[in-house]
Structure 1
Amino acid sequence: MVYNLHERFVAAAPDRVWELLTGLGGDDDRLWPPEAGTFRLPQGLKPGAPVEHASLRYHVGAVEQGRRLWFDTGRQLSGGHGFSLHPRGGGTLIRHELTGRTGGMFRLLWPLVVRRQHNRIIEQLLDNLEREIIRTAPKTGPSV
């Protein structure tokens, strides 16, 4: 059984975080690290839609507006992975969880290679999310 968790608090409302997350895999994806290979949602972000993640193929499992985005990964990992948003004072706790049983070659590759790559990609994605929130935050300053 594999369980992997990443959390990050961001100083933005869940609606703003959700807006950025729903761009994942689209033409204007500002979160996915380009050096991490492809992550595309050719039919958009809706349950059952295909996901192209490097050489892996799986599908969107659940889309709960403003709360949860889940991907069912299929044979390589019997569970899936995804994001959940949790409102906290002054912002949002964003959580990425990966859970399931590994199968086939993935059983060997997860601890040897994939886990480290996955951790790096998710942390870069969360860094990009934070940067986007800061970059697009309304500017406030002294009135003149």
Structure 2
Amino acid sequence: MRVRNLHLRHLPVPPDRAGALIDGLASPDDALWPADRWPAMRLDRPLAVGAAGGHGPVRYTVAAYTPGHGVRFRFRAPRGFDGFHEFTAGPADGGGAVLRHLLAIRAHGPALLTWPLVFRPLHDALLEDCLDRAEHALTGTVRAPARWSPYVRLLRAAAVRGRRRRDEALGTGPVRP
């Protein structure tokens, strides 16, 4: 199954300001990734080709990076996700900038079920939260904030319960939702 999933936000700022948000991904000053609500994006070194990391159960390597414009991550996990996801910033028709996130994969094996049932709803909610953060960072406001669906809230609650059980079994600390 081929999957192409696109999220974008038009922003009333020059494209280089939107591109600067991409440049800050996985850094201590990351103003794009919503680590306050989702598993943080972490990389084994600063954003550059070859940096490896991920967020939650998703693992990837930086396959391409053009400062001020975009970054492409090649998936390594979960199983069945063959492809990439990327953030790009560029000029919008009529002025301003457009910040885009594209996920393009060939889903196979377990991903034939996990993508539509689990990962897509969570991915869509996470990306809309990213774009809300971008809009707020660049304009000071969010015109139409994203809202999580009841299904996304259910999936997140189930994930938190699962992490709590795992942490209790391992004797590690509390889990944040």
Q: For the Cα contact (< 8 Å) 1:75–1:103, is it kept in 2?
A: no
Match of 1:53 in 2: 55
Gaps of 5+ in 2: 141-177
From the superposition, tell whether residues 75 and 42 of structure 1 become closer, same or farther in structure 2 (CA, over 3 Å). Answer: closer
CA contact (8 A) 1:74 1:80 kept: no
Distance, in Å, in 2 between the alignment partners of 1:96 and 1:18 is 12
CA contact (8 A) 2:13 2:97 kept: yes
Greater Cα offset, 30-39 or 109-118: 30-39
Give runs of ≥4 in structure 1 deviating > 3 Å: none
Contact 1:26-1:42 at 8 Å conserved across structures: no
In the alignment, structure 1 residue 96 sits paired with structure 2 residue 101: yes
* Structure 1 unaligned residues grouped into runs of 5+: 136-144
Q: Which amino acid aligns with 1:62?
A: A
Contact 1:31–1:125 (Cα < 8 Å) also in 2: yes
Counterparts of 2:8 and 2:27 in 1: how far apart (Å)? 23
Match of 2:85 in 1: 81
Of residues 69-78 and 120-129 in structure 1, the stretch that sits farther from structure 2 once superposed is 69-78
5 Å matches for 1:1-144?
A: 1-33=2-34, 34-76=36-78, 77-88=81-92, 89-135=94-140
Counting helix residues as a fraction of each chain, which structure ranks higher?
2
The alignment yields a C-alpha RMSD, in angstroms, of 1.5
- Distance in 1, matches of 2:26 and 2:77, equals 21
TM-score between both structures, scaled by the size of structure 2: 0.71
Identity across aligned pairs (percent)?
38
**By how many angstroms is 1:57 displaced?**
2.1
Would the aligned equivalents of 1:69 and 1:83 in 2 still touch at CA under 8 Å? Answer: yes
Aligned to 1:142: none
Count of residues in Structure 1 that have an aligned counterpart in Structure 2: 135
| TM-score after normalising by structure 1 | 0.86
Deviation for aligned residue 1:32: 1.4
